[in-house]
Structure 1
C-alpha cells in the first residue's frame, strides 16, 4: 500500500513557457466509503503525450491531515489496481456519489516534483485546483510553492471526497468569487493554448 502525501493550492496564473508532461481526462466516482476507508473507480484517458485509456480501482484508507496555520499536508494510504472497462461500467451503476469529471495537466517543477492542475466540469464547472504530491513528509512541510500557485486549499473543504458529495452552490461557498473569476481566465487560456 502506497502512502500518498500531498498539498492542494489555488492557481494564481499560468507560468510562462508552460512545460506540460501529460494531459489526462478523468471520470470518477466513489462506490464505498465509511469514516476510515473509501473505494474510488476511475476512467483515465490520456490525450498527451500518447492516446491510451485505463480503468483503475482504488482503495484508500484514512491517514491523517497535518493542519498548520499556513498549510495542510494530507497523508493517506492507497492501493490501486487496473480493472476492465466492463467492470468499471458495472461498478459505476453502484456509485454512491456524484460523478466527478476533470482534466488533469501534469507540470514538472523543481526537486523532481510535479504540479497536477485539475480543471473540473459539470456541476464543478469553474473549479480549478493544483496538487503537489511528495515522496516524504519532510519535503511536504518544507515545500516553497512557485509564485504562480496561490493560497493553500484545505483538504477539509475541497477534497475529491467532499466535492463528490457537494452541489454547485455548496462548493462555491467554500471559495471566493474572485477565485472563480480567476479560474475562468486560466481555464480559457488552457483551452485556447493547449486544446484541452
Structure 2
C-alpha cells in the first residue's frame, strides 16, 4: 500500500520557460469513480491505479503494471471521457519552505535536495483543453502543511471534486472558467 500526499492548485499563468522542462504524455480512463480505478498510459508505460477516498490531502494509492494490450483492452471499458494531458515536471518554487522548517525536518529537506518534491503541471488537451492544474506531492503531511505555494498558482483546490480527474470524466460538457 502506498500513500499519496498531494495538494492541487489552479494556475494564474504558466512559467515563462515551460518548454525547457521534461514532460510526459498521459492518456487515462476511469473504470470506476468511487473508489477511483483508472488505467493510464504515461509515455510508453502502462498501469492501473486504485485511489482511496477522494477529497483529502493524503489517500491510499496502489499501482499495478500493465502491458500495452491489457491497457488498450481496459481503456475500451472506461466510463465517460478519456483524459489526455501533458504533465510538465517543474522544479519546486524556491520559497516553498522556510529555512527553519527544513532545519527541523531533515527527511523533508533531503527530499527537497534530491528533487523528489516537484510541481507536476498538467496541461489538458482534447475534451478538457484549457484546463491547467498544478499538483505537488509531498513526502509527509507536515511538508504539505508547511508548503508555501508558487507565485504563479491561483488558488488551492485540493479536495474539490470538480478538479478530480475521476470526476472530470463524468462531465457531459466542459467549460474553462475565466478569472
TM over 0.5: yes
Q: Which has the higher strand share?
A: 1
Using the TM superposition, give the Cα deviation of residue 14 of structure 1 relative to its aligned residue in structure 2, in angstroms: 3.4
38, 53, 59: which one aligns with 1:76: 59
**Looking at both structures, which has the greater relative contact order when contacts are Cα pairs under 8 Å and sequence separation is at least 6?**
2
Q: Which 5+ residue runs of structure 1 have no aligned equivalent?
A: 46-52, 66-73, 179-196
Using the TM superposition, give the Cα deviation of residue 16 of structure 1 relative to its aligned residue in structure 2, in angstroms: 5.0
Q: Describe the shift of the 1:64–1:83 C-alpha distance in structure 2 as closer, same or farther (beyond 3 A).
A: same
How far apart, in 2, do the equivalents of 1:125 and 1:63 lie? 23
Preserved contact between residue 63 and residue 77 of structure 1 (Cα < 8 Å)? no
Partner of 1:151: 155
Give me the CA root mean square deviation. Answer: 2.0
Summarize the alignment of residues 22-171 of structure 1 with structure 2, pairs less than 5 Å apart. Answer: 22-34=22-34, 37-45=35-43, 53-62=44-53, 65=56, 74-109=57-92, 110=94, 111=112, 112=115, 113-156=117-160, 157-169=162-174
Q: Which 5+ residue runs of structure 2 have no aligned equivalent?
A: 95-111
Using the TM superposition, give the Cα deviation of residue 62 of structure 1 relative to its aligned residue in structure 2, in angstroms: 1.7
Partner of 1:68: none
Preserved contact between residue 20 and residue 106 of structure 1 (Cα < 8 Å)? no
Paired residues in the alignment total 157
